[in-house]
Amino acid sequence: MKCCGWISASFLPSRFVEDESHDLDHKSTSRRVHVGGGGAEQECENEEGACTSLTVWRKSLVFSCNGFTVIDSDGNLVYRVDNYMGGGRDEVVLMDASGKPVLTMRRKKLRLLENWLVYDGEVEECGSTTSPKKPICCVRKHVNLLQANPQVLAHVCREYSSSSKRLAYVIEGSYGKRSCRVLDESRRVVAEIKRKEAMIGGISFGVEVFLLVVREGFDTGFAMAMVLLLDQMFS
């Protein structure tokens, strides 16, 4: 299997290394959402090449739920997170517009450091008779005891085994200020979290509505999973 763009085919399932453009065009099953100021431009160009820009709303569309709503430039729902419980959750599920699980994130227990395992799709409950699904990666919150690199927020490692982990990505910046970058092993930016401003007047939407900019070749769902874990770690 070939590697697409900046994400290793051996790291993620084949669905995650395909061109993400088709994921944003399921108009027959998507719901339309309006966030003031209009959606983000779906395609953008910069010095690093093409990218996809999504608007992230830190609010669930389901009444009485906490969560996230992610829309494209046409106002179509792309991803959603609906949490029926309050904070302190040990599991977060990223779903597509139809409610199908895309990625499941589970907090790794019995650890002093905050670690999360990321799984493809839906994960069976503990005690299931089926074989346990293997995680595709582990995301670890950075603990900066010596203040050596205060910009580092988290590390993303390939979960080959419990004794052998290889660093795949580093997340830097400030999630509280909605200014973060996901960098690969070559220090190339593959995704960014940015403040969203209105097209007219330059008014900021604050921290509840922001942009997720994903470089060509990097999966938008995986990038959104990083947003969810940063929110768990730093909110």
The answer to whether the CB of 58 falls within 8 A of the CB of 209 is yes
Give the pLDDT band (50/70/90) at residue 197.
Answer: confident
Q: State residue 129's pLDDT score.
A: 56
Indicate the domain borders of the chain.
101-123+131-234
Give CA–CA dist 55/72, Å, rounded. Answer: 6
Most confident of 4-8, 25-29, 90-94: 90-94
Higher pLDDT, 47 or 136: 136
Residue 14 per-residue DSSP state:
G
CATH number of 101-123+131-234: 2.40.160
Q: What is the mean pLDDT of residues 197-220?
A: 86
Q: State residue 118's pLDDT score.
A: 96
Place of tokens 């829309």: 71
Residue 2 per-residue DSSP state:
-
- b/e 7-43 (16+ beta carbons within 10 angstroms → b): bbeebbeeebbeebeebbeeeeebeebebebebbbbe
For the cut 50, the answer to whether the pLDDT of residue 20 exceeds it is no
The answer to whether the CB of 182 falls within 8 A of the CB of 171 is yes
For the cut 90, the answer to whether the pLDDT of residue 33 exceeds it is no
AA letter at 206: G
Residue 10 per-residue DSSP state:
T
Could you report the per-residue pLDDT of 103-138, keeping only the tens digit for each? Answer: 999 998 766 788 999 999 999 876 565 678 899 999
The answer to whether the CB of 182 falls within 8 A of the CB of 194 is no
Closest CA to 170 of 159, 179, 157, 160: 157
For the cut 80, the answer to whether the pLDDT of residue 42 exceeds it is no
